[in-house]
């Protein structure tokens, strides 16, 4: 099983620390470094830094917003990063949401499923070197081609998706699936739309890399490892609108998600973290001593995960984050 690592504290980390973190990820023996993009920073610059700092590991976007970047710009950016990394780039994409796209990027959030499908089809044509003529419901291209070709003829396309319809699209046209906040105990069930779509479209299960974001932390004291993750995970459940709260409810953790939200209302991040049950945490994250973490990672393959993308908590110090990262070499 391959191991991916998400860039720590991607909203705040300095350029110097990005270079150091990238090199450390490569030293651990990990397969890939993934770099998110939020409303704060442009991930393409960070990806370029990571590409220049490394020689072996794959470099992935996790993920670019597929609405606020045009198909042409996505293709150009991807080709440039692929050339900088000498053919090591994986393109992760996601729809984001209505609020971010319309209020912050001034683009209409319309037909996200159709947009996703059309974009994946168009990018595949562009990357193999074709001059693309495409008239669709959400995308229109006339004679677009790349002058600077990517090193890879088929840059792998990953889709961040949690809903069954979007997951199904990934099974049809994607090379990798990036879910988040799906309990391990329900993961096989969550994968069913992916598997059904893969087989329906004449593909093989192994054609799609299953690469969920998973919070990760090690400590000599298992309790401390859990406590370091809780504030970060609780933020997603309690303060990121209804999305992850409702997702956990759909997978049988509605009561627990409600308690975390109530904790947030009473005392912010600390209150939400204190309200999180350990059994819920254990069903969502990988944490504990090095020996415990190693055993938990080995079990992921049995539920269909092929590349866990490990996310070190942003709320811990940079020194502690690099220590947790260094410990990964004893786990892989």
The domain that holds 138 is classified in CATH as 3.20.20.30
Task: Assess whether 39 and 170 both reside in one domain.
Answer: yes
What was the pLDDT predicted at 218?
Answer: 97
Query: Which bin fits 268, alpha (ψ -120 to 50), beta or left (φ > 0)?
Result: left
What was the pLDDT predicted at 97?
Answer: 84
Under a CB-based contact definition with an 8 Å cutoff, are residues 157 and 94 in contact? no
Task: Assess whether 123 and 211 both reside in one domain.
Answer: yes
Residue 100 has pLDDT above 90, yes or no: no
Residue 39 has pLDDT above 80, yes or no: no
Q: How far apart are CA 285 and CA 311, in angstroms?
A: 9
What was the pLDDT predicted at 102?
Answer: 87
Task: Assess whether 178 and 103 both reside in one domain.
Answer: yes
C-alpha closest to that of 233 among 269, 263, 266, 268: 269
Residue 40's pLDDT band (cuts 50, 70, 90):
confident
- Domain of 259, in residue numbers: 221-285
Q: Among residues 285, 303, 321, which one ends one of the domains?
A: 285
C-alpha radius of gyration, the chain, whole number: 19
Query: Rounded to 5, what percent of the chain is helix, strand, coil?
Result: 50, 15, 35
As a whole number, the mean pLDDT across the chain is 96
Count how many domains the chain has. Answer: 2
Task: Assess whether 141 and 268 both reside in one domain.
Answer: no
What was the pLDDT predicted at 241?
Answer: 84
Average pLDDT over residues 215-227: 97
pLDDT tens-digit series, residues 114-173 = 999 999 999 999 999 999 999 999 999 999 999 999 999 999 999 999 999 999 999 999
More confident residue, 104 or 308: 308
Average pLDDT over residues 98-109: 87
Average pLDDT over residues 238-254: 94
DSSP sequence for 135-158 = E-SS-EEEEE--SS--SSSS--EE
Task: Assess whether 280 and 293 both reside in one domain.
Answer: no
Task: Assess whether 162 and 262 both reside in one domain.
Answer: no
Task: Assess whether 90 and 239 both reside in one domain.
Answer: no
pLDDT tens-digit series, residues 179-208 = 999 999 999 999 999 999 999 999 999 999
Tokens of 157: 């396309």
Residue 41 has pLDDT above 90, yes or no: no
Task: Assess whether 162 and 271 both reside in one domain.
Answer: no
| Residues sharing a CB contact under 8 Å with residue 187, sequence separation 6 or more, in sequence order | 212, 303, 304, 305
pLDDT tens-digit series, residues 254-309 = 999 999 999 999 999 999 999 999 999 999 999 999 999 999 999 999 999 999 99
Residue 217 has pLDDT above 80, yes or no: yes
| 112 half-sphere exposure, CB direction, 13 A CA radius | 20
Under a CB-based contact definition with an 8 Å cutoff, are residues 71 and 119 in contact? yes
Task: Assess whether 237 and 326 both reside in one domain.
Answer: no
Average pLDDT over residues 19-41: 94
**Where are any strands of DSSP class E within the chain?**
4-6, 32-35, 58-61, 64-65, 89-94, 132-135, 140-144, 157-160, 176-178, 209-210, 213-218, 286-288, 309-311
Task: Assess whether 293 and 280 both reside in one domain.
Answer: no
Task: Assess whether 271 and 314 both reside in one domain.
Answer: no
Task: Assess whether 105 and 230 both reside in one domain.
Answer: no
User: Is the overall model pTM greater than 0.85, yes or no?
Assistant: yes
């Amino acid at each position: 099983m391959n191991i991916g690592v998400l860039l720590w504290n991607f909203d705040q980390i300095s350029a110097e620390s990005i270079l150091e973190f990238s090199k450390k990820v490569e030293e651990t023996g990990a397969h890939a470094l993934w770099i998110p993009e939020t409303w704060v920073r442009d991930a393409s610059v960070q990806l370029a830094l990571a590409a220049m700092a490394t020689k072996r590991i794959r470099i992935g976007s996790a993920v670019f917003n597929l609405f606020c970047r045009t198909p042409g710009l996505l293709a150009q950016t991807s080709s440039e990063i692929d050339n900088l990394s000498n053919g090591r780039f994986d393109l992760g994409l996601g729809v984001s949401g209505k609020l971010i796209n319309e209020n912050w990027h001034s683009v209409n959030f319309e037909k996200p499923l159709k947009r996703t499908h059309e974009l994946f089809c168009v990018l595949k044509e562009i990357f193999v070197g074709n001059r693309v003529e495409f008239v669709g419901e959400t995308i229109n291209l006339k004679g677009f081609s790349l002058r600077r070709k990517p090193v890879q003829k088929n840059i792998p396309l990953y889709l961040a998706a949690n809903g069954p319809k979007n997951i199904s699209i990934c099974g049809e046209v994607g090379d990798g699936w990036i879910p988040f906040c799906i309990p391990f105990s329900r993961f096989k069930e969550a994968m069913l739309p992916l598997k059904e779509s893969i087989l329906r479209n004449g593909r093989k299960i192994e054609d799609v890399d299953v690469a969920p974001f998973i919070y990760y932390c090690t400590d000599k004291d298992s309790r401390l490892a859990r406590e370091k993750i809780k504030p970060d995970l609780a933020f997603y459940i309690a303060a990121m609108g209804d999305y992850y709260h409702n997702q956990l409810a759909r997978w049988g953790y509605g009561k627990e998600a409600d308690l975390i939200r109530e904790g947030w209302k009473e005392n912010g991040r600390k209150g939400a973290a204190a309200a999180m049950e350990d059994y819920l945490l254990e069903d969502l994250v990988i944490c504990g001593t090095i020996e415990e973490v190693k055993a938990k990672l080995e079990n992921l393959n049995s539920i269909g995960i092929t590349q866990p993308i490990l996310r070190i908590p942003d709320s811990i110090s940079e020194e502690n984050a690099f220590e947790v990262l260094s410990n990964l070499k004893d786990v892989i």
